[in-house]
């Protein structure tokens, strides 16, 4: 009678070559699954923004509609053509009394950064705390002159900046992750824009 022996070695009998083969097989299976479902991509320069996946917003249309319902001058800046408006909103500021609202429009720039313009007839300190998510107005970092208008710089959310000025009775605040050059572009376009007709 022939004796049948188990030819597979026990766990203790596995060699480094066997374990390496199992790991490589597992990596290959994961790679095929990710490739099939498009679950990741290699980006050595950092994360990239797919402009096709960014939501769009009708910034000029929303600002025109809002201008007729608030008691302060709303401006619709003419931003560079490659900037993409992706958000608009209106919310209360301070006590929420008549005129104390903030109108926001956000853009994504070609660099993948985000910029938001907030406009309000409320108190500048209330607008600043509302838009930076702080309980009290932070200390200023300094000031920036853009086109003859002085903007005061404050710390914003996370490591962002917030530039604030008051023009013709309207508080204007710019914040976002963009660099100073893009802040200046939005500030210039906002100052040049005339308030929309109510």
Q: Which residues pair with 170 in a beta bridge?
A: 167
- 193 in Cβ contact with 78 (< 8 Å): yes
Residue 34 placed within a domain: no
Residue 35 — φ and ψ, nearest 5°? -65, -40
Give the CATH number for residue 125.
3.30.200.100
Residues 134-152, mean pLDDT to the nearest whole number: 90
Give the pLDDT confidence of 115-133 residue by residue, as tens digits: 999 999 999 999 999 999 8
Q: Which of 20-34, 51-65, 80-94 has the highest mean pLDDT?
A: 80-94
Residue 127 placed within a domain: yes
| pLDDT given at position 164 | 96
What average pLDDT is seen over the chain? 83
Compute the distance between CA of residue 96 and CA of residue 99 in angstroms, rounded to an integer: 8
The count of domains in the chain is 1
Residue 29 placed within a domain: no
Residue 21 placed within a domain: no
Where is pLDDT greater, at 19 or 35? 19
Residues 38-57, mean pLDDT to the nearest whole number: 56
Residue 12 placed within a domain: no
Q: Is the pLDDT of residue 14 over 90?
A: no
> By residue range, what is the domain housing residue 179?
55-192
Residue 162 placed within a domain: yes
Q: Is the pLDDT of residue 141 over 80?
A: yes
Residue 141 placed within a domain: yes
Give the pLDDT confidence of 74-124 residue by residue, as tens digits: 999 999 989 999 999 999 987 655 558 999 999 999 989 999 999 999 999
Secondary structure string (H, E, C) spanning the chain? CCCCCCCCCCHHHCCHHHHHHHHHHHHHHHHHHHHHHCCCCCCCCCCCCCHHHCCCCCHHHHHHHHHCCCCCCCCCCCCCCCCEEEEEEEEECCCCCCCCEEEEEEEECCCCCEEEEEEECCCHHHHHHHHHCCCCCCCCCEEEEECCEEEEEEECCCCCEEEEEEECCEEEEEEECCCHHHHHHHHHHHHHCCCCCC
Angle value at C-alpha 161, between 158 and 162, nearest 5 degrees:
115
| pLDDT given at position 17 | 81
- 75 in Cβ contact with 95 (< 8 Å): no
Place 10 in a pLDDT band, splitting at 50, 70 and 90.
Answer: low
Residue 33 placed within a domain: no
Residue 196: burial class (beta carbons within 10 Å; 0-12, 13-18, 19+)? middle
- 154 in Cβ contact with 162 (< 8 Å): yes
Q: Which of 33-37, 92-96, 117-121, 160-164 has the lowest mean pLDDT?
A: 33-37
| pLDDT given at position 56 | 72
């Amino acid at each position: 009678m022939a004796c049948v022996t188990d030819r597979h070695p026990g766990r203790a009998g596995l060699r480094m070559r066997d374990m390496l083969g199992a790991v490589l097989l597992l990596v290959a299976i994961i790679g095929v699954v990710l490739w099939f479902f498009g679950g990741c991509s290699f980006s050595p320069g950092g994360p990239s923004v797919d402009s096709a996946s960014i939501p769009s917003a009708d910034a000029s249309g929303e600002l025109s509609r809002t201008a007729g319902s608030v008691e302060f001058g709303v401006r619709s800046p003419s931003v560079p053509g490659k900037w993409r408006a992706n958000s608009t909103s209106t919310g209360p500021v301070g006590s929420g009394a008549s005129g104390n609202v903030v109108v926001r429009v956000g853009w994504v720039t070609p660099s993948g950064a985000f910029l938001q313009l907030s406009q309000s007839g409320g108190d500048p300190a209330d607008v600043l705390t509302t838009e930076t998510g702080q309980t009290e107005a932070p200390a200023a970092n300094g000031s920036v002159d853009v086109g003859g208008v002085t903007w005061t710089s404050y710390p914003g959310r996370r490591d962002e900046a917030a530039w604030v000025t008051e023009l013709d009775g309207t508080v204007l605040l710019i914040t976002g992750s963009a660099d100073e050059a893009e802040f200046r572009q939005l500030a210039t376009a906002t100052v040049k824009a005339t308030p929309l007709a109510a």
